[in-house]
Structure 1
Amino acid sequence: MLTRDVISSEDLAEIRRTALGDADPLGVAADLAEAVDEGRLANPEDAGYALSLATEIAEVRSRLGAALQYADRAVAAYPEEDAPGAGFARALRARVLFRLGRDDEALAAITPLRPLLTEEPDAAVYISAALDAGRQTATAEEWLSAAVDTMLEARGESAEEVGPAEAPGVLFFLLQQRHRVRRDLNLPHDRQDDLADRLEARLTRETPHDHAESDLVFFPKPEFDRLPAGLAEVYGADWDEHRARLEKALVHRAEEGAAGLGVLRATVDGLTSNGDPTDAGVRGRYANQLADLPNTHVAWPPERNAACWCGSGLKYKKDCLPRSRA
């Protein structure tokens, strides 16, 4: 639980990353709400974020009644509906309502957020997540498709073209979420799906490649030791560096608000079967294949005292958790 007298924005980011591994995560959520009540936030404008974090913790622990109370407070903490973070808080509340079976209320709460799909890059992610929770996948596909059409029309582009790779922004997130939703619905590949694939491929080619395109691909130690030469800059010089890179990438995504995080368990044979592994496009295609295969996703983060996600046999708090701070 929290022991800080004053909680900074940096503290909240750290809490977001570690709370689920705490011995008493629900206590952390309660303490966050208490810190808001007692004025112990260094920046009072963080109140909505702190309460949204409490909501997520309670929701993950299936304490949906408490999650809804925190979510109500999080929404109320934003002075304006269009304030940064307000959309996420409102979508989070809708997600909890869906999980409580209060579908009509949830739809009424999420529908006003639909315009954000063409305004905020991550809106496609959190709105889709709320609709997914209510098994409203068809609605998500309808909204995302309409938003993509609106953006393509505004940019003067068709689904036969790929927009500027240097600034994909909202369009890229919309296309990616739409692509995922359509896969879930088993819908046939269409021109917008093709555009999603081409834009992702172009971004992969034109983005400087340190380990960005494969930052969630994980090689267990026996596989890592078999990796071909020339991949140290991509996957790490040794297994410790490989795991540290993954842990830091996961922390970064968590701090940006991503949910359902994990790594993709890879094999050398699977990687090399796609072609030359020193080719960034080959590595990117393999990562996409892993994401679509069953039994490759290793959830993150584990609880602090649980076995580490890397398979070392050590507790998470003794192994990969400290690597994010190295």
Structure 2
Amino acid sequence: MTRSTSHSHPSASHGAAALACLLLLGASASAVSIPIVNHSFEGPDAAGGYLLETPTGWTSLDSNNEFVESITGVGMSGGDGLQYLGVENGTLYQDLGVSFQPGMTYRVDLASAHREGFTHGEVEFGVFSSDAIGTDLGTAGFMDIQGVWDGSGNPDGDNLWNVFRDASALNQIGSGALGRVSTFTVGGTAPTGNIVVFIRNSTGAARVNVDNIRLEEISGIVLGDVNGDGNVLLDDYAIIRDNFRMNVATRNLGDLSGDGEVDFTDFLEWRNNSEFGGLSMAQLNAMLQSVPEPTSALLVSAGVLGAATRRRRS
């Protein structure tokens, strides 16, 4: 679906309010949930306790230690349903029986909890193709579960124990070092094989506690969307800024044009598809004044902050 939006220039008296609102807006794509069998690990039924078994509908890649356990039975909360999954040094996966589609972004989110008094590891999650089990597609999501402890060395540790929180929520705390979602954007040619979701812990005996895995298929590549969340916001610009003039090969690092470098072409795609096209030069310069030199000087002196035609594709 193609959508166009008209914008007027904000007045000086309403400039601050307009800027605050625009930070929350973006070009959005529609998302559809792809069903995952036993997404909240309710089977097999641990009857309010603990059961050392692979969850129903899932396959263990490593035949290691995985279990299901009652959430409230161990004094935890949040998540979805009655049970959570524990994994120790292994990978679980599930073939969803549906194929990847060209031009789609696949986004996986997962919840985790730091159980008070226990040492935990880092969990990774995302998608494989059924033709290449074990090979990550796109950017794997992660959660540093031990990092919740403020003595772990993670700068964002907040000591919130025993509560399941999504990777997408953890990413909004501090510097984002506690977690992020998984994203994989398909270009014009989709991978062969079915979509496979995976959960992985490769940190030895340090277990991870997870729950409520979800997969969304976001229709269309949103022009200007760097991080694959379906929106074009300032966090996308920050990636382009931080990697400017660097040779990278992936969209999530800022190379939107696919030419192997983060450059003005990528910046223009972001700007032309953001909600900042109606702002004045003065307002844009004010927003960019904190950008470290020499990047800000390059962007401003190149004249790319003038009026531009906004493009969207979904």
TM-score (norm 1): 0.23
Relative contact order higher in (CA < 8 Å, ≥ 6 apart): 2
More helix by share: 1
